[in-house]
């Protein structure tokens, strides 16, 4: 598993970003909403996010050097590719899976207020905030599952 994680960590965020956009737009959501999720999770400004994408920053560097990871990200729970995000022990992979989970929630039509955990009392323990199964894996998940370690 660690070898697969290293492969994901070395992937440029910009190589996966178009897949996040396509997933959202396919379900009637927007690039602006995807960017808002990125900014909320990492503390990047829009200009900083665009600069990181242009530099082809790796997932590892993107998250390791994020200005301020959102403190409410620990409220993100649920399953991504058959794995509960809150049970992922490897810190960097958990951060990547948080992003995947938020994009999945966006594509599933969840309101941005819920996705961004703005009404904390409404989302903590709310069964509606826990998606139990996915039909497709996010791009980073597919990279991990595509080749045995």
CA–CA separation, 89 vs 70, rounded Å? 18
Evaluate if residue 130 carries a pLDDT over 50. Answer: no
Encoded tokens for 117: 């955990």
Q: What pLDDT is recorded for position 2?
A: 66
Please report the pLDDT score of residue 5 as a whole number: 78
**What mean pLDDT do residues 77-97 have?**
93
CB-count exposure of residue 19 (10 Å: 0-12, 13-18, 19+)? middle
Q: Which two tokens stand for residue 124?
A: 């903590």
Angle in degrees, CA 84, 88, 92, rounded to 5: 130
Q: What pLDDT is stored for residue 149 in this prediction?
A: 35
Residue 108 phi, psi (nearest 5): -85, 0
């Amino acid at each position: 598993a660690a070898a697969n994680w290293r492969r994901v960590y070395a992937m440029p965020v910009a190589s996966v970003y178009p897949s996040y956009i396509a997933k959202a737009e396919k379900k009637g959501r927007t690039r602006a909403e995807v960017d808002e999720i990125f900014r909320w999770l990492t503390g990047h400004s829009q200009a900083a996010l665009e600069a990181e994408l242009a530099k082809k920053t790796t997932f590892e560097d993107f998250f390791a050097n994020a200005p301020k990871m959102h403190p409410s990200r620990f409220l993100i729970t649920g399953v991504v590719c058959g794995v509960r995000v809150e049970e992922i022990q490897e810190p960097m992979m958990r951060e990547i899976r948080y992003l995947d989970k938020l994009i999945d929630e966006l594509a599933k039509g969840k309101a941005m207020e819920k996705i961004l955990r703005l009404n904390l009392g409404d989302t903590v323990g709310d069964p509606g905030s826990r998606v139990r199964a996915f039909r497709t894996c996010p791009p980073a998940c597919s990279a991990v599952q595509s080749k045995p370690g």
